Homo-oligomer: A and B are copies of this chain.
């Protein structure tokens, strides 16, 4: 087996890669990283990911880090395996997918990351939850999702009428977010809610989400 993902499914960035592998139906091995003992901040792990973060990825001789770069690599290398995740039919179509991948990175990720840290990560480590941060970030997230609601009223998925990395990249944080008491931020927006119901019920999503236990 040549594809190795160094990480653990609980990590949202690892899950992003696993979702892509599962959509493509590729065989892979998850190599656990002993984060509790700081293995990710030491060699040999740092040679796989110099930022000491999870995950790192190997496909034979190709070694990559940054989850979204890994998913793009997989979508390009295995374009004809399983569904196309890049909107490769034309430059215009793939640019729309690119645009919504950038939206995930630069509009959605920051408030969502802050909320998940406060509501899910902090309690694990016995750190107090800051309600003020949650409130502020939920307000930012709501404004972002208002734009998603409008977008998803016009097409079924963010990149167009087909599932793509633009949708997939959102899934890991949403899996956790939908387990919080704030999930109505999603369900109260009809088109966002329908989109989430659709992408969360994909077999690849169900398979990976089941392994995302905190």
The interface of chain A, by Cβ under 8 A from chain B, is 50-51, 62, 64-66, 68-69, 72-73, 76-77, 91-92, 95-96, 98-99, 101-103, 105-107, 109-110, 144, 147, 150-151
Residues of B within 8 A of A107 (CB): 51
Partner of A69, one of B50, B98, B144: B98
Q: Are A69 and B95 in contact (CB-based, < 8 A)? A: yes
How many copies of the polypeptide does the oligomer hold? 2
The A interface, classified by DSSP as helix, strand, loop or mixed, is helix
- A91–B66 CA distance with the chains assembled, in angstroms: 16
Decide yes or no: A95 and B73 within 8 Å by CB, A107-B51, A150-B50 being known contacts: yes
A102-B69 in contact given A62-B95, A91-B76 (Cβ < 8 Å): yes
Q: Are B102 and A66 in contact (CB under 8 A)?
A: yes
